[in-house]
Amino acid sequence: MATLSDLLAQKAALDKKIAERQRAERTGAIAQVRKLMAQYGLALSDIGKVAPATRAGKAAGAASAPGKQPAPRKGKALGKVAPKYRDPDTGATWSGRGLKPRWLAAALAAGRSLDDFRI
């Protein structure tokens, strides 16, 4: 049975081989991309905006799936929006975002049109 120090030495040697292989494959991939770009006359601007890879992503070999969209924003609102609808009786307004206010829902239920309240 191997000792702990033997196993750690083997692990270090494997880590070194893995790093060397990753560098070699990355160099080959870059050369292949450059060759294809030259062959088809492409520039970086033709490829589009590419998010820079993080160090952790490079080390783990993690890459996002092609064509996958980033997750939608959560939390912080993007800003105020001008009101689009106004209640002539109370002066209350609604921007058209989110749930309809009660005054507008009641008026629509009573048969009025949304255009009746447009600013």
Q: Does 10 fall in a domain?
A: yes
At which of 26, 43, 60 does a domain end? 60
| Ordered DSSP codes for 3-23 | -HHHHHHHHHHHHHHHHHHHH
Looking at residue 1, its pLDDT comes to: 81
Residues with Cβ within 8 Å of 56's Cβ and at least 6 positions away in sequence, in order, are: 62
CATH number of domain containing 95: 4.10.430
Q: Does 41 fall in a domain?
A: yes
Enclosing domain of residue 38: 4-60
Q: Does 16 fall in a domain?
A: yes
Q: Does 11 fall in a domain?
A: yes
Q: Does 76 fall in a domain?
A: no
Q: Does 65 fall in a domain?
A: no
pLDDT tens digit string along 2-45?
A: 899 999 999 999 999 999 999 999 999 999 999 999 998 988 88
Q: How far apart, in whole angstroms, are the C-alpha atoms of residue 53 and residue 63?
A: 8
pTM attached to this predicted model: 0.38
| Ordered DSSP codes for 70-118 | PPPP-SS--------EE-TTT--EE-S-SSPPHHHHHHHHTT--GGGGB
Looking at residue 60, its pLDDT comes to: 47
8 and 56 in a single domain? The answer is yes
- Give how many domains the chain has, as a whole number: 2
Q: Does 67 fall in a domain?
A: no
50 and 96 in a single domain? The answer is no
Residues with Cβ within 8 Å of 84's Cβ and at least 6 positions away in sequence, in order, are: 94, 95, 96, 118, 119
Length of the chain: 119
pLDDT tens digit string along 53-110?
A: 655 555 444 455 566 677 777 766 677 889 999 998 888 999 999 899 999 999 999 9
